[in-house]
Structure 1
Amino acid sequence: MKTTKKLLAMALAAAMVVTAFAGCSGNNDTSSADSTSSASSEASTSSDASTSDESSATEDDGTIHPMRIVQPGTLCPDYETGMAAVNEKLKEDGVNIEVSVTRIPWDAYAEKLNLMLTTGEEFELLHVMQDVKNLSAIAGMGAISSIHDSIQNYPDLYNKFSETEWLGTLYKGEEYAVPCYWRSFDNTMSYMDYRSDIAEKVGYDEFPDTTEGIIDLMKKSQDEILNETGMKAYSWFHQVQDTAHWLHRSYDTYPFYVENSLGICLIRQDGTVDSFYESEEFKKDANTYYEMYQAGLIDPDILNRDHQKQYDDANYGAMLPSQTFDPYTGVTMQKNGVEGAEVKWVEAFGDDVPDMIYTYVQNLNAISSTSEDPESGLKFLNWLYASEENHDLFHYGIEGTHYTKTGDHRIEQVKGDDGNPLYSMDTWMTGYLPYMAYATDTPDEQVDYMTYKSDNYVISPAAGFIFDSSNVTSELTNLQTEIISSIYPIKVGMVSYEDNIDAAIEKLKAAGLDKYLEEYRTQFKAYLDANPNVLEIAKGTTEG
């Protein structure tokens, strides 16, 4: 993330306060060897020198401790071979842990994760996705442990990340996780992806810069894609709980940020926290999506459709302009027989509109409070990020068996009969951008997308804030139920805003909306009072 002297000053000042709420995760690990950058981040301050556990951590008695990781998804076919090589390398390096990974399928992830956390199942490392179950919620359950004291034993690991990235790991003033720096987030709130080859066919050499133009492009693209593939394409949120951030860039009240989990709070650049679902901005969102839904641009079963299905359809050519996917999707389309397919990303409504940087860190890895040896997770991450060799072995497997190097940060992975890599561990959960590798056929557009550094941006005052929901747990549970049942149909355009919003807001208030907002505002004000530089940083665009 691009920083300024003011931003760094704020980061240092915020060391002992309630912290960072941010979050989004991806589950579409784009080019199997999915992400690389030959350029180091400005946020990274350490070298790539390999460092053994013995030089940075407390001594142990030589006992091999289990290091069990819990992540979403499914394991690759040759997981056992690859992980055996990882554990052999750990042994050679004198790191006394044995790594194993448990994957929870996406369609059962939330339910099974909650069960694991509430029953106290033993494991060491948990991947935290802020928009699925955020750090404060998990820490508030007592399910993860503070690493504030133990991280001091791993200076090399600590120095892999910037002060601002560490701000995103704090809960009640202490670090509770290690950041995952797998991509730049300067454009996360700003971009849209679209099939540029289809756009040109229907008369759009440039991506339109008005809402009306974008909807017209969607309609014409849908007809062309149906003719081409026999499939009906739709426009998607990345996940249903996400907000239509692309639309917000066209509003007179922009810049502002809507927290990206339940979408309850709208945070303006002056530090004001508004009720998003009672705002004019939500009304505009809902009316636009109602128009899109009525035009058939939104899947009629959007609230029930399997999350993975939208990616499966896109990989065979059926995608409309959306704030999801990425340029590598075009490569996948071509592999699947869609000739000439090309996906580009653009900043919605033009480069003159500033990008919104809303988070210091989006994905994290936390130590489970059930672990008999809590430091084993830190030992693993310290080893993983100590060198590109370790990073590649864990994520891409054995060179010559699972992949071959084809250039600087470019690899070719060995695929199975299903076309997927025989061995691959998703870098969006544990990757480190300066080390990461792209598949040989990854277009430069994808590299730009992953490593983009904005020269026209604002930083949300909420970028370094994590809301602690422990005082409003029952309200949050009730609100989640009501938002899904009453707000989501309005949000995605299934029903009209005018006919349904009053009843929906009444239900939200009965569920505890006002109490939740009051608690959020109280905590956010305390954060701003303790960090006076935050609002100064949020006042306007930065210089490039």
Structure 2
Amino acid sequence: MRKSFTMLFAVMLAFTALLGCSNSSGDSADRGGSEDSPSQTGSGNSAKLVKIKYVVPGTEPKDYKEVFQKINEKLAADGVGVEVEKVYIPFDAWDQKLNLMLSTGDDFDLFHIMQDRTPFSSYYNRGALADISESIEKYGDNLKKNIPDDIFEGAKIDGKYYAVPSYWVEMASEGEFDIRRDILRQNHLQEPTNPEELISAWETVMKNWKGSNKPYYAAKADFDPVSLHTTVFHRTYDTFPFTVKDKFFYVNQNGDVKSWIETDEFKKDSEYMRQMYTKGITNPDILVMKNEQINAQIDNGDWFVNFGTTGSLKSLKQNNPDATVDDIGVVWFNPEKEYLRPLTFKNGNAVPANSKHPDEAVKFMNWMLASQDNYDLVQYGIEGKHYTKDGDKGMKAINDPANNNPGYRGSESQNGNVNFMRFDLENSIPENNKVLFESNPDAVNSIAANFVFDPTNVRTEFTNITTEAAASMTPIYMGVQDYDKAFPAALDKMKKAGLDKVVAEYQRQFKEYQAKQNK
């Protein structure tokens, strides 16, 4: 564990938030800390039961308490010696609330990490993470068995584990988008093959849309293409493959590192986004949109194109009762090009530095992958009440008559694993399942996928550029401001905030990282 950090950490984390990937009560995060009490293990031997607190973004499901009572009973029966309390924090309060809990030393033992929003290295660099290497060595057999080595390696810093990846998605899915083929047919449109065709088709759909809610581009404003999945444009650039790391750094497969916002690719992205904004494809309130609004749009089926993968047939049918699973398709621009993993893993979980129970946190994660029954209980709830099995890998959710939604559903983006995942065979989208949950044999990792930047030497400048970019670069990248008019002044502010110094430090560290990899 590293030294405790100052309130500078609070400021920095608040501004390093980025999109991704679960759901109430911020008040629950203020409950008392973990307690230990004697209990009985499954073998009947008296043992000390350790209660751990697991903090996640999202809204607490209606039947959470009932399901976690069953989970804790099963943990006891299996002799794990762990009891789990899951604490939900609303998405829009997640970064600020978690930041406060970490900086004030709140008592909790496990928390969720979204690599494409705030990578685990950001928490590590501020001293917020516990080294869990020994815990994984002692209690992580199932984790090591079910998470590929190259993915698990991405959770290491200086040879030590600081996170447990969630192996729930093929990261080479980055760069595709979902499209409504039923809407293409209705408007006599062909599937777009480049950004110009996409924008033109979208403009036509917006003009002809009959519904009350327009099918706007759905996203929370940012300037990071990995978070926004505006990486869909990148496959059309001659310089692809490349990725953007830690929001600010363009890295190509030759090892060239540049300031992302100063690249021609950033300019091209911004110009496409400007077209979308001026043509009414982007919501006019994009800069203040909240996750709840964006999720509601997708869940209601009021969309034509979504960067990234989208929902299920059930949500689409709400306003489109005749929809079928084949009405949603996956599109790649230039599909003959390389498929690149910008990160080796997208989400994961980590133990905070102040946790008194790192072993128990790892034991719980390991237990989830000990059997299909354990996994099913955590992710799908109580069989017969929340879901029924549909063959070896299928499931059908049982909806609560009060709101037509399951009373419980876990989050596979938080702690799922493709070796255990079940699919709603009636409502899940086959093309999405293939892209997301099947390994892509043609994919390659970005050479920067496992690189961890340490901003210690430029901490003040890194904080300053993060703050400045949120204010100055986001409106340009989202197309709200014209690039040619707004960029020079915005870049000047970024330079004054310390951009050049941060980029030089990143380049230095990455060069050293490459040298070690090539030994």
| Partner in structure 1 of residue 10 of structure 2 | none
Distance 1:365 1:336 in 2: 36
**Cα distance 1:288–1:215, how it changes in 2: closer, same or farther (>3 A)?**
same
5+ unaligned residues in a row in structure 2: which ranges?
1-16, 24-40
After superposition, what is the alpha-carbon deviation per residue over 1:317-352, rounded to whole angstroms, capped at 9, x for unaligned? 3213231342x4443121444433665343432321
Query: In the TM superposition, what whole-angstrom CA distance separates every residue of 1:354-377 from its partner, at most 9, and x where no partner exists?
Result: 211112111111112222222110
Q: Of 227, 231, 236, which residue of structure 1 is paired with 2:213?
A: 231
Q: Which moved more, 1:427-436 or 1:403-412?
A: 403-412
Deviations 1:106-152 (A, max 9, x none): 12111111100001011111111123322122122222200122211
Letter in 2 for 1:283: K
TM-superposed deviation, 1:282: 1.1
Greater CA deviation, 129-138 or 497-506?
129-138
Does structure 1 residue 454 correspond to structure 2 residue 440?
yes
**Residue aligned with 2:486, SS:** helix
Paired position in structure 2 for 1:204: 189
Partner of 1:81: 66
Superposed, 1:111-130 pairs within 5 Å as: 111-130=96-115
1:250 & 1:181 partners in 2: Cα distance? 29
Task: Between 364-373 and 521-530, report the one with greater CA deviation.
Answer: 364-373
For 1:93 and 1:104, the matched residues in 2 are separated by 29
> In the alignment, which residue of structure 1 is the partner of 2:269?
285
Q: How far did 1:455 drift? A: 4.6
Question: For the residues of structure 2 that align with 1:172 and 1:25, how far apart are their CA atoms?
Answer: 28
Q: 1:146 aligns with which of 131, 138, 141?
A: 131
Q: Which residue of 2 aligns with 1:489?
A: 475
User: Are the aligned partners of 1:136 and 1:469 in contact in 2 as well (CA < 8 Å)?
Assistant: no
Closer, same or farther: CA 435–303 of 1 in aligned 2, 3 Å: same
Say if 2:381 and 2:409, in contact at 8 Å, map to a contact too.
yes
Matched residue of 1:186: which SS? helix
1:270 to 232, 247, 254: 254
- In 2, the alpha carbon distance for the partners of 1:73 and 1:510 equals 37
Question: 1: CA distance between counterparts of 2:412 and 2:183?
Answer: 30
TM-score by length of 2: 0.87
How many residues align? The count is: 477
1:26 is aligned with what amino acid? G
Q: Is the 8 A contact 1:193 1:343 kept in 2?
A: no
Q: CA deviation at 1:407?
A: 2.1
The AA in structure 2 aligned to 1:310 is I
2:420 to 435, 442, 447: 435
**Matching of residues 137-216 of structure 1 within 5 Å:** 137-154=122-139, 155-188=141-174, 190-205=175-190, 207-216=191-200
What's the CA shift for 1:316?
A: 2.4
- C-alpha separation in 1, matches of 2:46 and 2:503: 50
Determine the structure 1 residue equivalent to 2:82.
97
Q: Give, as a single letter, the amino acid of the residue that structure 1 aligns with 2:293.
A: K
- SS of the residue corresponding to residue 165 of structure 2 reads strand
Q: Is the 8 Å Cα contact of residues 192 and 323 (structure 1) preserved in structure 2?
A: yes
Residues in 2 aligned to 1:290 and 1:477: alpha-carbon distance in whole angstroms: 28
**Which residue, out of 53, 57, 73, partners 1:68?**
53
Q: How far 1:214 moved relative to its partner?
A: 0.9
Q: Does 1:386 align with 2:370?
A: yes
CA contact (8 A) 1:146 1:176 kept: yes
Q: Are residues 308 and 64 of structure 1, via their aligned partners in 2, closer, same or farther at CA, if it must alter by over 3 Å?
A: same
The match for 2:281 among 287, 291, 297 is 297
SS in 1 for 2:470: helix
Among 497, 500, 515, the residue aligned to 1:514: 500
> SS of 1:516's equivalent?
helix
Partner residue, 1:340: 323
1:16-95 to 2 correspondence within 5 Å? 26-27=20-21, 62-95=47-80
How has the CA–CA distance of structure 1 residues 437 and 270 changed in structure 2, closer, same or farther, with 3 Å as cutoff? same
C-alpha contact (below 8 Å) 1:24/1:363 kept by paired residues: no
Distance 1:162 1:102, change over 3 A: same
Q: Is the 8 A contact 2:344 2:445 kept in 1?
A: no
Q: 1:338 to 1:504 in 2, by over 3 A?
A: farther
Secondary structure of the residue aligned to 2:396 is: strand
- Work out the CA distance in 1 between the residues paired with 2:221 and 2:364: 31
Letter of the 2:322 partner, please give it: E
Supply the AA of the counterpart residue of 1:76: P
Greater alpha carbon shift after TM alignment, 166-175 vs 331-340: 331-340
Is contact 1:187–1:452 with CA below 8 Å preserved after alignment?
Answer: no
Q: Distance in 2 between matches of 1:501 and 1:486?
A: 8
- Change in Cα spacing, 1:94 to 1:454, as seen in structure 2 (3 Å) is closer
Distance change (3 Å), C-alpha of 1:150 and 1:518: same
Q: Given that residues 411 and 437 in structure 1 are in contact (C-alpha distance below 8 angstroms), is that contact kept between their aligned partners in structure 2?
A: yes
Query: Once the 2 structures are TM-superposed, how far is the Cα of residue 252 of structure 1 from its aligned partner?
Result: 1.2
For 2:452, the equivalent position in structure 1 comes to 466
CA contact (8 A) 2:328 2:429 kept: no
> Which of 307, 314, 317 is the equivalent residue of 1:331?
314
User: Does residue 525 in structure 1 map to residue 511 in structure 2?
Assistant: yes
Whether the aligned pair in 2 keeps the contact of 1:410 and 1:437 (CA below 8 Å) is yes
Task: For 1:121 and 1:139, locate their aligned partners in 2 and report how far apart those are by CA, in whole Å.
Answer: 17
**AA in 2 matched with 1:332:** S
Q: Which residue number in structure 2 is paired with residue 218 of structure 1? A: 202
Q: What SS does the corresponding residue of 1:270 show, helix, strand or coil?
A: coil
Give me the whole-angstrom Cα distance separating, in 2, the residues matched to 1:480 and 1:361: 23
TM superposition shift of 1:176:
0.6
What do residues 143-171 of structure 1 show as CA deviations (whole Å, max 9, x unaligned)? 22001222111333323222211121112
What TM-score do the two structures reach when normalised by structure 1? Answer: 0.83
Distance 1:92 1:365 in 2: 25
Change (3 A) 1:476 1:24: closer
Q: Determine the C-alpha separation between the residues in 1 that align with 2:171 and 2:253.
A: 18
1:345-384 paired onto structure 2 within 5 Å = 345-384=329-368
Once the two structures are TM-superposed, the CA of residue 210 in structure 1 deviates from its matched residue by 2.2
The letter of the residue matching 1:267 is V
| 1:239–1:307 contact (8 Å) kept in structure 2 | no
2:232 to 207, 226, 246: 246
Q: Name the structure 2 match of 1:542.
A: none
Find the aligned partners of 1:110 and 1:406 in 2 and give their Cα distance.
37
Residue 258 of structure 1 aligns to a residue in which SS?
A: strand
| Cα distance, 1:456–1:150 mapped onto 2, change above 3 Å | closer
Q: Give the whole-Å Cα distance in 2 for the aligned partners of 1:28 and 1:111.
A: 17
Contact 1:86/1:394, CA 8 A, preserved across alignment: yes
* Structure ranking higher on relative contact order (CA contacts 8 Å, 6+ apart): 1
Shift of 1:187: 1.5
Task: Please state whether the residue corresponding to 1:501 is helix, strand or coil.
Answer: helix
- Displacement of 1:443: 3.5
| Displaced runs of 4 or more, over 4 A | none
Deviates more, 1:154-163 or 1:284-293: 154-163
The answer to whether 1:307 aligns with 2:301 is no
RMSD of the alignment, in Å?
A: 2.3
Aligned residues of 1:168 and 1:464 also touching (Cα < 8 A): yes
Q: 475-484 or 496-505, which moves further after superposition?
A: 475-484
